[in-house]
Amino acid sequence: MKNLLLTTAIAFTFTVPAYASGTHGGAHDAVKVEETEAHGADGHGDNHAAMMMIGMPGDATKVDRTINVTMVETDDGKMLLQGDEMTFEKGETIRFVIENKGEQEHEFVLDTVERNAAHKIEMAKMMMEHDDPNRITLDAGASGEVIWTFSNDGAFEAACLMPGHYESGMFRAVAVGDQMAKARMTMAPAEVQVAQADVEYTKGTVAKVDIKGGKVTIDHGPLLNLDMPGMKMVFRADEEIISKLSEGQNIEFVAEPVKGKLTVTQLK
C-alpha cells in the first residue's frame, strides 16, 4: 500500500505543469510563451485577441529593420516617446530599441488604441507588473528591446500606460500598411484631451506635509484631469503651496505632471 501511494505521488509530481510566475493580479501566474492562446481561459482572451490584431512576437534572426525609441521628460512637464515615424509594412519584423533617458520608470506598449485605453484604466487602479512580449518596462537610464512582427494592416499605438504618463504625452501612432492618417485620426481625441483638458479640482485630505522635501501626501478622490482613481499619493509642491497645508486639512487641489513629477499646482 505504501509503495502504491509513493508511486502515485511521484507520478503526480511529474505531471504537474511548470508555470512562469507573474504579478498581474494572478492573470499572468500561468504564462508560457508557446501557449499564449491559453489565456482565454483565465480572463485574458480579449487581450491576446487584440495582440493578434497588431501581430505577434518576432524572430530575432529575421529582423527587417531597427527602430530607435527614446523616452524623455521635458522641462515643461511633458513625457514623450521620441524617434522615427512608426510606419511599417504587413509582415515586417521590427526590432524596437528603447532607451529611457528620463528620471522615472516608463513602459513601451504596442497594442490597439482601444486596448491601451482600457489597460490604462486598469493600471491607474493598481500598479501591475507585466511579462508580455508586446511591452517592456524600463527603469530610469535603462534600455531594452521589443521584437515584433506586424502581421495585419491597421492603425495601432505605442504608449506608456503608467498613471499620468499617457496624459503627459507619452504615446505615438503606429501604422501598418497605408494607415498612418487613420492612426493619427484615431489618436486625435486623446491628443486634444491632453492639450485642452479643463481644470478639474480634486477633493482630498492632507495626510503628511514634508516641508524640507517639498512634498505632501494626500488621500484624494479621482484625479479627473489625469484619469486616475482616488488613492493616497505623494505629490510635489512649491514653498507657497506647502505653507498653506497642514495634516488633517481638507483641500481642493489640481495636480499636474511637472518635470515628470505629479505636482500640486493649484489650491482652491
169 and 124 assigned to the same domain = yes
Do both 243 and 158 map to the same domain?
no
pLDDT at 16: 39
- Looking at the fold, whether 63 and 184 belong to one and the same domain comes out as yes
Q: Is residue 36 part of a domain?
A: no
Tell me the pLDDT tens digit for each residue of 14-44: 443 333 333 344 333 333 333 333 333 333 4
List pLDDT tens digits, range 204-251: 999 999 998 899 999 999 888 777 888 888 889 999 899 999 999 999
Looking at residue 85, its pLDDT comes to: 86
Residue 235 counted as domain residue: yes
* Rounded distance between C-alpha atoms, residue 53 and residue 110, angstroms: 11
Q: Answer whether residue 224 is part of any domain.
A: yes
Largest distance between two CA atoms of the chain? 79
Which of 137-151, 178-192, 224-238 has the highest mean predicted lDDT (pLDDT)? Answer: 137-151
State which residues form the domain around 153: 50-196
Same-domain check for residues 169 and 225? no
Res 156 pLDDT > 80: yes
In a domain, 78, yes or no: yes
Which CATH number characterizes residue 228's domain?
Answer: 2.40.50.320
Same domain, 55 and 184: yes
Using pLDDT thresholds of 50, 70 and 90, give the confidence band for residue 108: very high
CA distance 213 to 209: 9
Average pLDDT over residues 84-98: 94
Q: How many domains does the chain have?
A: 2
Rg, the chain, Cα only: 22
Cα–Cα separations (whole angstroms), residue 32 to 131, 164, 214, 258? 10, 31, 45, 40
Q: Are residues 55 and 169 in the same domain?
A: yes
Q: Is 187 found in the same domain as 55?
A: yes
Residues 109 and 237 in one domain: no
CA nearest 150: which of 99, 96, 100? 96
Q: pLDDT band for position 179 (50/70/90)?
A: low
Q: Is residue 219 part of a domain?
A: yes
In this predicted structure, which of 40-49, 78-87, 115-124, 251-260 has the lowest mean pLDDT? 40-49
pLDDT value of residue 47 = 46
Q: What pLDDT score does 131 carry?
A: 65
Identify the pLDDT of residue 209.
94
Considering the domain architecture, whether residues 124 and 248 belong to the same structural domain is answered as: no
Output the pLDDT for position 258.
Answer: 74
For residue 9, is it within any domain? no
The reported pLDDT for the residue numbered 49 is: 41
* 180 confidence band (pLDDT: 50, 70, 90): low
DSSP secondary structure of 41-99: GGT-HHHHHHHHHH-EEPPGGG--EEEEEEEEE-TTS-EEEEES-EEE-TT-EEEEEEE
pLDDT, residue 126, reads: 58
Q: Which of these three, 180, 196, 212, is where a domain ends?
A: 196
- Give a yes or no: residue 33 inside a domain: no
Do 134 and 116 share a structural domain? yes
For the CA atoms of 103, 157, 85, 70, the dihedral, rounded to the nearest 10 degrees, stands at 10
Q: Is residue 45 part of a domain?
A: no
Predicted pLDDT at 174: 92
Asked if 111 and 181 sit in the same domain, the reply is yes
Instruction: Please provide the average confidence, as pLDDT, over all residues in the chain.
Output: 77
Residue at which a domain ends, from 145, 164, 196: 196
Q: pLDDT at position 55, please? A: 94
Rounded average pLDDT over 190-216: 75
260, 221: one domain: yes
- Domain end: 171, 196, 221, which one? 196
Of the segments 9-13, 178-182, 211-215, which one has the largest average pLDDT value? 211-215
Looking at the chain, the whole-number percentage of residues with pLDDT higher than 70 is: 69
Measured CA distances, 239 to 38, 46, 245, 255 (Å) = 53, 47, 10, 15
Q: What is the domain-level CATH number for residue 163?
A: 2.60.40.420
